């Protein structure tokens, strides 16, 4: 049985037409159809009902779908765990980092460390906060780099996952400018005219921080317009005038400097945040120990 067959099966179950599913899997439609048929032949029963409206899962297909999802997750988890064990033996360093910090903070920070410390092979895994937490809890990576806020508790026990603050940032409300250079959307908004809010998806760590702060504010009048796990996507949407977004200043500063974005409210709506590095005591090697010692010494 070919693993690509399972990936094809899940793509067709989601897209519901052979043409869209084949495009998503980057194969020709005839080749895609042959692989779906091969999976059905291997299992011994039809998984889809083909019709003019597309492909609909049979009862057998509905039974297989959640198991296929879990099998793919289990295989990916096994791959990452095995990779982590191999890296422990070879002295490689694994760091999970949220998307925003992978893009803005991590490159300069690690470059500065490498000027004074030979770190050897380095594996950066960029993902959502939720996915990074799962990697840490599973002992798959040595470190997690993320944003934190004092009022938003982390999901790690301090004695098992010690941490140090290695930087600071601030979430700034931004909007595209109008013809006069003023924000298209300006906080706090009104009940009659709530502001379109470009927000973070539930899996985002910045989303947790922002949601906690908004819930404490009694004056903001927002309506959900668009959500994404990626701060970079929200930056693009804000730049194009689709609403306002709270973005890390480190990510938005170039656009603010060039006038492509402007502040959407006074400084009282800013949200100071920390950049913290968490360490897993379940995933260790000599390189991780050396790096952590240096960081604790400042």
Whether residue 250 is found in the same domain as residue 110: no
**What is the per-residue pLDDT for 169?**
95
Q: What are phi and psi of 60, to 5 degrees?
A: -65, -40
**What is the per-residue pLDDT for 33?**
93
Distance from C-alpha of 45 to C-alpha of 176, rounded to nearest angstrom: 54
**What is the per-residue pLDDT for 118?**
64
What pLDDT tens digit does each residue of the chain (298 aa) get? 788 999 999 999 999 999 999 988 888 999 999 999 999 999 999 999 998 878 999 999 999 999 999 998 888 888 877 766 665 555 678 899 999 999 889 999 888 877 756 667 788 999 999 999 989 888 889 999 999 998 888 888 888 899 999 999 999 999 999 999 999 999 988 888 899 999 998 889 999 999 888 888 778 889 887 899 899 999 999 999 999 999 999 999 999 999 999 999 999 999 999 999 999 988 888 888 888 888 887 6
Picking from 43, 75, 107, the residue at the C-terminal end of a domain is 75
Distance from C-alpha of 35 to C-alpha of 25, rounded to nearest angstrom: 12
Whether residue 172 is found in the same domain as residue 269: yes
The sign of the CA dihedral 237, 239, 242, 244 is positive
Is 64 buried (19+), middle (13-18) or exposed (0-12) by CB count in 10 A? buried
**What is the per-residue pLDDT for 240?**
94
As for how many domains the chain has, the answer is 3
Whether residue 181 is found in the same domain as residue 233: yes
Domain around 118: 83-165+275-296
Whether residue 143 is found in the same domain as residue 202: no
Whether residue 37 is found in the same domain as residue 61: yes
**What is the per-residue pLDDT for 121?**
77
């Amino acid at each position: 049985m070919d693993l690509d067959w399972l990936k094809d099966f899940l793509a067709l179950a989601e897209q519901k037409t052979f043409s869209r599913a084949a495009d998503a899997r980057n194969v020709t439609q005839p080749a895609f159809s042959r692989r779906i048929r091969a999976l059905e032949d291997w299992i011994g029963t039809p998984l889809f009902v083909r019709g003019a409206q597309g492909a609909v899962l049979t009862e057998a297909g509905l039974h297989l779908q959640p198991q296929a999802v879990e099998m793919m997750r289990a295989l990916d988890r096994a791959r990452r765990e095995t990779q982590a064990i191999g890296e422990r033996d070879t002295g490689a360093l694994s760091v999970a980092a949220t998307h925003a910090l992978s893009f803005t903070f991590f490159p300069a920070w690690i470059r500065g460390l490498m000027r004074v410390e030979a770190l050897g092979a380095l594996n950066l895994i960029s993902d959502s906060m939720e996915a990074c937490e799962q990697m840490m809890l599973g002992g798959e990576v040595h470190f997690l780099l993320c944003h934190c806020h004092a009022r938003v508790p982390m999901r790690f026990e301090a004695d098992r996952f010690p941490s140090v603050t290695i930087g600071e940032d601030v979430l700034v409300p931004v909007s595209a400018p109008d013809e006069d250079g003023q924000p298209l959307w300006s906080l706090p908004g009104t009940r009659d005219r709530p502001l379109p809010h470009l927000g973070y998806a539930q899996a985002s760590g910045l989303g947790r921080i922002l949601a906690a702060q908004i819930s404490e504010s009694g004056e903001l009048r927002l309506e959900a317009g668009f959500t994404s796990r990626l701060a970079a996507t929200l930056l693009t949407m804000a730049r194009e005038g689709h609403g306002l977004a709270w973005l890390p200043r480190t990510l938005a500063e170039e656009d603010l400097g060039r006038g492509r974005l402007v502040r959407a409210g006074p400084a009282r709506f800013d949200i100071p945040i920390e950049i913290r590095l968490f360490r897993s005591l379940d995933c260790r090697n000599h390189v991780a120990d050396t790096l952590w010692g240096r960081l604790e010494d400042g």
